[in-house]
Structure 1
Amino acid sequence: MKKLLVIALGLATFSLAFQSDVKAQAASGDQIRFGIKAGANLSKFGEFKFLDEYYNSKHKVGFQAGIYAEIPLGASFAFLPEATFTQKGGKVEETVLGTTGKIEATVNYIDVPFMIGFRATPELTIFAGPQVSFLVSQKTTFHVNGEEQDDDTSTDNLNKSLAGGAAGIGYRIGDNLNINARYMMDFQNASKEDIGQDRAKNSGFALSLGYSF
């Protein structure tokens, strides 16, 4: 139900953006702009459960790239929708009775945030909003004492879509370039409920460089 509410909120925000005050937009001289972005993110998947014990995951570096739009809402606000390919995941490494085991996962999603931005200055924008993530693929690798043992690419145990949110800041460099930093998190478990990973939630930070047309 939470996922449906977040998706509904995003769609409602999208609709309101296109019904915003057109006169205010024209008076301000702002125009709708589109752009491309790419960068890196640092993510983890919460806690991993093994033999009734929970282990905290460590951050893992990933890649992201996508497209975005800047739709003025009049005054200092804008609607900022995106569609971004994002590598998430994390790693868990523990030593038990002299044996070191490591699990490293890379999970790829298409993130679709519906954010509202507030332009604090002509260059600086603060933004936040809901986000829906759609699963693309995953690869989990298992190591024992530093040696790779096996890997798994099945997505059967993962939810195919997740509701979450994002918040951050953007800084415009000249007319076309911008830098964007944000924190992202999912409100739902990445894993399906029937496999016992009830604390596996994606979260992390992202830094990207964008170019607006």
Structure 2
Amino acid sequence: MKNLLLSLGLLVGVTGAAHAQNGVKYGLKGGFNGATFSGTDSKGSEYKAGFAAGGFLNFGFSDLVSIQPELLYSQKGASIDNFQGASGTTLKSTVGYLDVPLLVRLTAGDDGKGPFFEAGPQGSFVLHNRDFTQTGGNDTQSTKNTSTDDLNKVVIGYVAGIGYQITSGLSLGLRYSGDISQVYKDGASRAYAFKPGSTQLNGNNPNVHNSVFQFQVGYAFGGR
């Protein structure tokens, strides 16, 4: 009980200090993702386009330092050519996540404006999946899989980025988001008997991680 009261007191004190010094801001952001797979079995994985959008809170301790938790819908996945070793066969995997990064932001300008650097951990929760496989040639064939059975429902990663706070509200940012956890569960695949980039069908899920570059535009309200 003492630890709980101490933690609550510390949280209230930190929030109060942030509000007193630089205010609490809230806002919206969105932008484009360039997503692919990295890791042991990522051979043949290429970038595919997606988007991210959501909201954030910014707790400013000073013009230099702030804490920024975010809640974002983010499209990840990859485009894989010559899928299952078959020439002309392409897999486009789109996995929708709810990303929850907790970032420390350092801003180099005056009055909270100017260039900034941000970094911190991120938890991601699977919302949906769409795998679209297409075979070219004269007789085009396509298949679609929307199952999430093979996916790890919660993954842990990190975020690091740079940007520019143009005004007290408007900002532009470029960040990299990488996952420590694997995209797929270990063991046999329920949806595919494959390993991307391999000519052998081994029946196991691939060892790959999400790797995403993000360009974002944000606008904050509130603060001083």
Instruction: Place the TM-score, normalised by the shorter chain, in its bin.
Output: 0.7 to 0.9
CA distance in 2, matches of 1:175, 1:96: 50
Deviation sequence 1:7-28 (CA, Å, 0-9, x none): xxxxxxxx976543845763x4
Amino acid at match of 1:77: V
CA distance in 1, matches of 2:31, 2:15: 33
CA distance in 2, matches of 1:186, 1:97: 26
CA distance in 2, matches of 1:25, 1:97: 57
Q: Which has the higher strand share?
A: 1
Amino acid at match of 2:128: S
1:31 aligns with 2:39: no
Question: Who is 2:215 aligned against?
Answer: 207
- Which of 63, 71, 75 is the equivalent residue of 2:59? 71
1:77–1:101 CA distance, 2 compared to 1 (3 A)? same
Question: Who is 2:70 aligned against?
Answer: 82
CA shift, 1:113, in A, is 0.2
Gaps of 5+ in 1: 1-14
Amino acid at match of 1:35: G
CA distance in 2, matches of 1:137, 1:144: 24
CA distance in 1, matches of 2:29, 2:147: 29
Task: Name the % identity.
Answer: 30
Question: Who is 2:201 aligned against?
Answer: none
CA shift, 1:101, in A, is 1.4
Question: Who is 2:172 aligned against?
Answer: 179
CA distance in 1, matches of 2:179, 2:83: 29
Q: What does residue range 52-201 of structure 1 map to in structure 2 within 5 Å?
A: 55-74=43-62, 76-94=64-82, 99-121=87-109, 122-145=113-136, 147-195=140-188, 196-201=204-209
Q: Is the 8 A contact 1:20 1:74 kept in 2?
A: no
Give 3-state SS (helix, strand or coil) of 1:20's partner.
helix
1:17–1:105 CA distance, 2 compared to 1 (3 A)? farther
Q: Is the 8 A contact 2:44 2:82 kept in 1?
A: no
> Which TM-score applies when normalising by structure 2?
0.78
CA shift, 1:95, in A, is 8.0
Question: Who is 1:5 aligned against?
Answer: none
Amino acid at match of 2:158: G
- Cα root mean square deviation, aligned: 2.4
Q: Which has the larger radius of gyration?
A: 2
> Which TM-score applies when normalising by structure 1?
0.82
